[in-house]
């Protein structure tokens, strides 16, 4: 049986290894990554797919004790509605998929699988005030993937998805405290 490159991507996300505890340089820091996803999508039940650009951000705070707090935020293509999904800890699972965060030296790797939509966020932190990030997104199989919108709560059907260039920023302290 042959697997498509997207399916292999999803498998790779599910099998990431080499995890370490958060390096001390991450403690007390908030890292934010922002990017756009180009999608061909429709609300489940609608007739036509639309090409849209969806802004997303991923925020992770590593507490002074090394605990992880994560938030994935998405905004509708119109920019009028946004919503987020919060997770605590290195590994998490829920009705809308599963994810994990691991550290490899000065690099944080977040992976998530949401019913066939996979996302890998790689953040390299210099230990001071700057970071760089890369986001990879893919879906399994050649058909349609169904996911729930963070922003609207509606079920979406995705025909295709790809992540654009990512920006990254570092902040001292807990961005979730306010």
Give per-residue pLDDT as tens, 42-61: 999 999 999 999 999 999 99
Query: How far is 9 from 158, CA to CA, in rounded Å?
Result: 17
Please, which pLDDT band fits residue 24 given cuts at 50, 70 and 90? very high
Give per-residue pLDDT as tens, 107-149: 999 999 887 899 999 999 998 889 999 999 998 877 898 888 8
Q: Is the dihedral of CA 115, 60, 6, 98 positive or negative?
A: negative
Give per-residue pLDDT as tens, 148-158: 888 898 999 99
3-state secondary structure of 26: helix
Q: Is the dihedral of CA 35, 40, 45, 46 positive or negative?
A: positive
Query: How far is 156 from 89, CA to CA, in rounded Å?
Result: 27
Give per-residue pLDDT as tens, 73-90: 999 888 899 988 888 887
Going by C-alpha positions, the residue among 58, 69, 87 that lies closest to residue 22 is 69
Q: Is the dihedral of CA 14, 6, 123, 32 positive or negative?
A: negative
End-to-end CA distance of the chain: 51
């Amino acid at each position: 049986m042959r697997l498509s490159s997207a399916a292999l991507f999803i498998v790779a996300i599910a099998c990431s290894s080499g995890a370490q505890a958060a390096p001390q340089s991450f403690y007390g820091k908030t890292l934010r990554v922002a990017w756009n996803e180009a999608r061909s999508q429709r609300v489940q039940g609608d007739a036509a797919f639309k090409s849209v650009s969806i802004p997303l951000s991923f925020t992770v705070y590593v507490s002074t004790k090394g605990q992880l707090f994560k938030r994935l935020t998405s905004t509708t293509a119109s920019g009028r509605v946004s919503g987020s999904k919060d997770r605590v800890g290195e590994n998490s699972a829920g009705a809308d998929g599963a994810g994990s965060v691991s550290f490899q030296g000065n690099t944080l790797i977040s992976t998530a699988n949401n019913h066939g939509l996979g996302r890998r966020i790689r953040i390299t932190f210099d230990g001071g005030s700057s970071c760089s990030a890369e986001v990879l997104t893919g879906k399994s199989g050649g058909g349609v993937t169904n996911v729930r919108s963070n922003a609207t709560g509606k079920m979406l059907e995705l025909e295709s998805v790809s992540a654009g260039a990512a920006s990254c920023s570092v902040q001292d302290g807990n961005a979730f405290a306010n």
